[in-house]
Structure 1
Amino acid sequence: MCSGGCAKCLGITLIPLAILSVLANILLFFPAGKVAASNDHISREVFYLGGLLGSGVLMIFPALVFLGMKQNDCCGCCGNESCGKRFAMFSSIIFAAIGFAGAAYNFIISAVAINKGPICLLTNGTWTYPFSDGNYLGNHDFWKNCTILNPGAKNEFDTEVIITWNLTLFCILLILGLAQGVLCAIQAINGLIGTICGDCKCCGCCGNDGPV
């Protein structure tokens, strides 16, 4: 596959992944679909916006650049048929690095959030992190240490629902960040190959439709 065609496929894949990341991060602001009575009742890692900024906004830029690689003019540099395409492929490496950094940020934030668990209301009336080192993941008995109130109401909210909500969404963000990081790494390699060797064929300008 041509370097430009490969980049376009990667860009098409990154767009829905970025949208899913944004949606997952937004849902984390509403524990179990409820509006929290205070920001202090929401895990701090949610406010770091790993999915919204890292795998969302930062990922849009490289995705759009990758999508446009196929249409780049390969005669755009001093009349050289390959120079323009090579420069475009080189610039895609820079954007791939930006995307990889955003994906890595989201991955790290999600991993930390999963390890710490959600912030909970303890029986003594304080909001804190009752779990540590991921000990709650394999032992649901630890979940009893967490008592969460339904935001805006006096009745006790289902602790398991809140923990599952938090864990599921951060796991989704973790997987999305990993997938995006892999795709950006692939494009970095693809861009390097395109920079050194050129695309497999020119885009039809300058009367040349053959190999670069």
Structure 2
Amino acid sequence: MCTGKCSRFVAIALYPLVLVSIICNILLFFPGWDVKYSQDGFITEEVKYMGGLVGGGLMVLLPALYIHLTGSQGCCANRCGMFLSIAFAGVGVAGALYSLVVAGLGLQNGPYCKVLLLGWLTPFKNGEKSYLTDSTAWGLCAEPKDIVEFNIGLFATLLACGALQLILCAVQMINGLFGCLCGTCTDKGQL
């Protein structure tokens, strides 16, 4: 496969992952589909780190845009452009890793919720048994409604998106290296 075509494939695959990451992070600010929890500061700590918005969103979107330019004929479809795509893909790897770590922590620690008689806390944090495999423990969270399922679904989606973004950006780093060393296909008319 031509390095330019590979760059286009990587960029086009990154765009929907960026969009999903941003949407998931924004939705996490509205637990129970209500604004009042965000206004009162009753949201999960990992949501405030904005792993999906900053890491899997902006830090992957900018490299995706540049990588897309290396895959089309023009100013960036040359050896120098491919060399720069390695650096941009490295930024994408860092963003995807940030998103992965934040999502992993969000899944590990569990949601911030109201526990009857105890108030607002993160009841599953530092627990002996993982709440992910014990759905009977989810009833501890009285408010917001269905917060455990809400957090698991969105953080798991962020985790999957971050993993795919990491793989795609790593592939582009290798592709950029080949494009830098061997050149792109633009001069052969194969793009």
More relative contact order, 1 or 2 (CA 8 Å, 6+ apart): 2
Partner residue in 1 for 2:82: 89
Higher helix share goes to which structure? 2
Contact 2:73 2:186 in 1 (8 A): no
C-alpha change, 1:121 and 1:172, in structure 2 (3 Å) is same
Q: Which amino acid aligns with 2:14?
A: L
Counterparts of 2:189 and 2:18 in 1: how far apart (Å)?
36
Q: Give the structure-1-normalised TM-score.
A: 0.82
Residues in 2 aligned to 1:49 and 1:39: alpha-carbon distance in whole angstroms: 18
Q: How far apart are the structure 2 equivalents of 1:44 and 1:36?
A: 16
One of 158, 167, 177 as aligned partner of 2:162: 177
- Kept in 1: contact 2:113–2:147 (CA 8 A): no
- 1:124 matches 2:120: no
Matched letter for residue 88 of structure 1: G
**Bigger radius of gyration:** 1
**Aligned equivalents of 2:75 and 2:90: distance in 1?**
23
Question: Which consecutive unaligned segments of at least 5 residues does structure 2 have?
Answer: none
Alignment-derived partner of residue 155 in structure 1: none
**How far apart in 2 are the matches of 1:197 and 1:36?**
56
- Counterpart in the other structure of 1:195: 180
CA deviations on 1:3-29 (whole Å, 9 max, x unpaired) are 111101111111111011111111111
Query: Contact conserved, 1:2 with 1:201, CA < 8 A, in 2?
Result: no
Letter matched to residue 130 of structure 2:
N
Q: 1:162 to 1:191 in 2, by over 3 A?
A: same
Q: Structure 1: state its 5+ residue gaps.
A: 75-83, 150-157, 203-208
1:72 alignment partner, one of 66, 71, 74? 74
- Counterpart CA distance in 2 for 1:166 and 1:5 is 37
Instruction: Kindly provide the amino acid, as one letter, of the partner of residue 91 in structure 1.
Output: L
Partners of 1:72 and 1:88 within 8 A in 2: no
Give every structure 1 segment of 4 or more consecutive aligned residues whose post-TM-superposition deviation is greater than 6 Å: none
Whichever residue aligns with residue 43 of structure 2, its letter is I
Aligned identity (percent) is: 40
If the length of structure 2 is used for normalisation, what is the TM-score? 0.90
Q: Which amino acid aligns with 2:4?
A: G
State how far apart, in whole Å, the 1-side matches of 2:40 and 2:94 are. Answer: 27
**Corresponding residue for residue 105 of structure 2:** 112
- After the TM superposition, which residues 140-151 of structure 1 pair with which residues of structure 2 at under 5 Å, given as runs? 140-149=135-144
CA 1:39–1:8: 2 relative to 1, 3 Å: farther
Aligned partner of residue 132 in structure 2, secondary structure? coil
Deviations 1:126-146 (A, max 9, x none): 211100356111112222332
Match in the other structure for 1:77: none
Aligned length: 186
